Amino acid sequence: MTVTITAFEASPDRGRGLARDMRVRWTLEEVGQPYEVRLVSFRTMKEPAHLALQPFGQIPTYEDGDLALFESGAIVLQIAERHPGLLPADANGRARAITWMFAAMSTVEPPIVEREMASYVERDKDWFEARRPILEERIRTRLDQLSRRLGDADWLDGDFSAGDLLMVTVLRRLESSGLLDGTPNLPAYIARGQGRPAYQRAFAAQLAVFEAASKR
Ligand code: GTB
């Protein structure tokens, strides 16, 4: 049975690989698991068939036989648990890699998403300019802490893991913000992730969706 995931039919990121299907694609590529992609529109994401898979009407979803999952972090963990390569074999190393997965999604990503959301929905509000430096300072605090922990290591805890995979996808959302300028080891860390052949295959696959949609 082939794994099927969902992704935007026309991603608002214009093929930059910033939507959360990218982390699932990258994970599947890392472990060599073939997959199919069902493309969904914003309208079909809110219809009963998709809501049965993803109660919040979002992408990505994951189907493998009679197992259906949502939440990109849970999907990445499921794939990493079922295939070798993204979690250490020893129990403690595995637990630490999973901790970094949670750190990426619940400590580093939220302030980044908060800033993005503010720029989409609060830009015309009179408090926007006053709030922006507060949101950016929260991000800088996390980046400084992460940067100190990473130091001059290649990855967060030993070999590349699912924790690095999620952290790189989270940090990529800051690429054009200038916020990474003060912590040069983090752009280098992102670049190391992007240099992995599995990342490049995943990126090319999601870009092909955008390019095909632009031609229609
Ligand atoms: N917690 C969930 C998970 O991790 O799976 C969050 C899933 C989620 O936010 N999905 C977004 C979605 O389906 C797409 S990735 N949104 C549609 C909706 O809510 O109606 C978030 C995203 C969207 C666009 C960009 N971009 O254009 O750069 C980046 C990230």
pLDDT tens digits along 148-185: 999 999 999 999 999 999 999 999 999 999 999 999 99
What residue ranges of the chain are covered by domains with CATH 3.40.30.10? 3-85+198-215
Give me ligand 1 centre to Cα 18, in Å: 9
What gap in Å lies between CA 170 and CA 114, rounded to an integer? 13
DSSP letter (8 states) at residue 17: S
The whole-angstrom distance between residue 21's C-alpha and the CA centroid of its chain comes to 7
| Burial of residue 182 (number of CB atoms within 10 Å: 0-12, 13-18, 19+) | exposed
- Residue whose CA lies nearest to ligand 1 atom number 18: 58
What does the pLDDT read at residue 215?
85
CATH of domain 3-85+198-215: 3.40.30.10
As given in the structure block, the two tokens for residue 29 are: 């590529």
What does the pLDDT read at residue 212?
92
What gap in Å lies between CA 60 and CA 31, rounded to an integer? 18
In the chain, which residues have pLDDT < 50?
none
What does the pLDDT read at residue 177?
96
Q: Which residues line ligand 1 (CB under 6 A)?
A: 12-13, 18-20, 42, 45, 57-60, 71-73
| Burial of residue 12 (number of CB atoms within 10 Å: 0-12, 13-18, 19+) | exposed
What does the pLDDT read at residue 140?
98
Q: Which fold has domain 91-196?
A: Glutathione S-transferase Yfyf (Class Pi); Chain A, domain 2 (1.20.1050)
The rounded radius of gyration (Å) of the Cα atoms in the chain is 18
Sorted by sequence, the CB contacts under 8 Å of residue 42 that are 6+ apart come out as none
User: Are 25 and 35 spatial neighbours (Cβ–Cβ below 8 Å)?
Assistant: yes
Q: Which atom of ligand 1 lies closest to the CA of 12?
A: 27
- Is the backbone peptide bond immediately before 60 cis, with ω within 30 degrees of 0? yes
The structure tokens 């190391």 sit at: 192
Of 9, 51, 58, 176, the residue with max ligand 1 atoms within 8 A of its CB, to mutate for a pocket test, comes to: 58
What residue ranges of the chain are covered by domains with CATH 1.20.1050.10? 91-196
What gap in Å lies between CA 86 and CA 33, rounded to an integer? 13
- Residue whose CA lies nearest to ligand 1 atom number 27: 13
What gap in Å lies between CA 199 and CA 197, rounded to an integer? 5
What does the pLDDT read at residue 178?
97
What does the pLDDT read at residue 56?
98
Return the amino acid letter for 176.
S
Give me ligand 1 centre to Cα 76, in Å: 15
Q: Which atom of ligand 1 lies closest to the CA of 16?
A: 28
Give me ligand 1 centre to Cα 60, in Å: 8
User: Are 70 and 58 spatial neighbours (Cβ–Cβ below 8 Å)?
Assistant: yes
- Residue whose CA lies nearest to ligand 1 atom number 26: 13
